[in-house]
Amino acid sequence: MWTWSKMVMGALVGAALLLGLGEAEAYEEVAVTDGGTITGTVTLAGQVPKPKGYNLTTLPDQVYCGRISDGQGWRILQPFQVGPGGEFREVVVYLDGIGKGKPFDKGSLPQIEAKDCLFVPFTTAVRDDQSVTVVNMDPVMHDIQAYETSELGPRVLFNVPLPMNPQHPRNFKDRSEAAMYHKHMAGAPSKQLVNLSKNRRIFVMQCGFHAYMESWGVAVTNPYFAKTDEQGRFSMTDVPPGTYTLAVWHPYIRSRIEQTVTIGPQGTVEANIVVPAPTGRLYANEVLDHAYIRYNVPEETKREIDPMIKKQDH
């Protein structure tokens, strides 16, 4: 099993503490008749941080999972999804300081899929004490190790296997057959309760077999939250009139980003938020500017690990 680095655990602790929360009061669901709308954009200003890099020869299923890789035997994970104009995607935006308002959506539970050796989506908003469903779409075994932070360090939320669909072939004849297999079929879903410690709101899931599979979540205390889309835009509706704190969360942003918004009856507010790009080394396994020096990947292995689906950039 892969062991967490201290720098990753530091990111977990830092992300949680920067939410700056006291003890949350119970949210009251009421009918909202004069609510307004908050829309806006989130932009990352500055240089996009470097991604993470993982040597596929040190991890299982290198051929299948290497169908998305850099062509040099490395799998790349970029936690910062940013468009050409700085559009900051997959960021959670939420309101603090709102004690009552519209009901929570009673629809389907959040679902995370293991697909092509990725956990998608990378960020999720979930109500505390609510379950998330995780499904394996790949023809390889995964598992989920979920953690939260606490004063004493990380605490395990759950650690369970994530079986593959039995209709997937289990024994490929050769490496090329494994690389050419592109079917995705859902395995048995794993429904897990997210029950965080008092005043804790951040959790992260990783695969114990494939270290580059990572998905983060924030537990929300009210239904006024949204994720930014491909254009970095977000929208919240039926917001009761009042003044609130609009906060932005991304697991690798180490500073608290917030903006005060005031909305009138049936009003509309445009909130455009600029997030300074973090600088310095964010994680221990950051892709380096020079050639990888931790491990060498033989040329023969590079040829076997063929990025057939996507060739990744460093």
Which residue is associated with the tokens 């993470």? Answer: 52
pLDDT at 7: 42
Report the C-alpha gap between 233 and 249 in whole angstroms: 14
From 216, 16, 229, select the one nearest 120 (Cα to Cα): 216
Please tell me the predicted confidence (pLDDT) of residue 1: 40
Q: What b/e readout covers 23-59, taking b as 16+ CB neighbours within 10 angstroms?
A: eeeebeeeebeebbebebbbbbeeeebbbbbbbbbeb
Q: Which pLDDT score, from 0 to 100, does residue 301 have?
A: 84
- Stretch 76-90: mean pLDDT, rounded? 97
Q: Which residues pair with 142 in a beta bridge?
A: 162
Q: Which pLDDT belongs to residue 155? A: 86
Structure tokens at 270: 């445009």
Pseudo-torsion of CA 7, 8, 13, 15, nearest 10°? 110
What pLDDT is stored for residue 120 in this prediction?
Answer: 96
CA distance 31 to 104: 12
3 state SS of 14 = helix
pLDDT band at 304 (very low <50, low <70, confident <90, very high): confident
Res. 173 pLDDT band, cuts 50 70 90:
confident
Strand ranges (E), 25-73: 28-29, 36-45, 52-55, 68-69
Res 152: pLDDT:
67
**Looking at the DSSP assignment, which residues form a beta bridge with residue 230?**
none
Q: Which residues contact 10 (CB under 8 A, 6 or more apart)?
A: none
Residue pair 127/55 in contact (Cβ under 8 Å)? The answer is: no
**How much is the pLDDT for 5?**
42
Cα(76)–Cα(33) distance, integer angstroms: 48
Lowest mean pLDDT among 18-22, 57-61, 103-107, 309-313: 18-22
The rounded distance, in Å, linking the Cα atoms of 137 and 207 is: 14
Cβ proximity of 271 and 39 under 8 Å: yes
pTM: 0.87
Q: How far apart are the first and last CA of the chain?
A: 26
298 against 22, higher pLDDT: 298
CA dist 175 to 90, 178, 209, 287, Å?
34, 5, 19, 27
Structure tokens that stand for 28 in this block:
């009251």
Q: Report which of residues 206 and 107 the model is more confident about.
A: 206
Please give the DSSP secondary-structure letter assigned to residue 269: E
Amino acid (1-letter code) at residue 197: S
Nearest to 80 by CA among 39, 46, 126, 115: 46
Q: Give phi and psi for 3, each to the nearest 5.
A: -105, 140
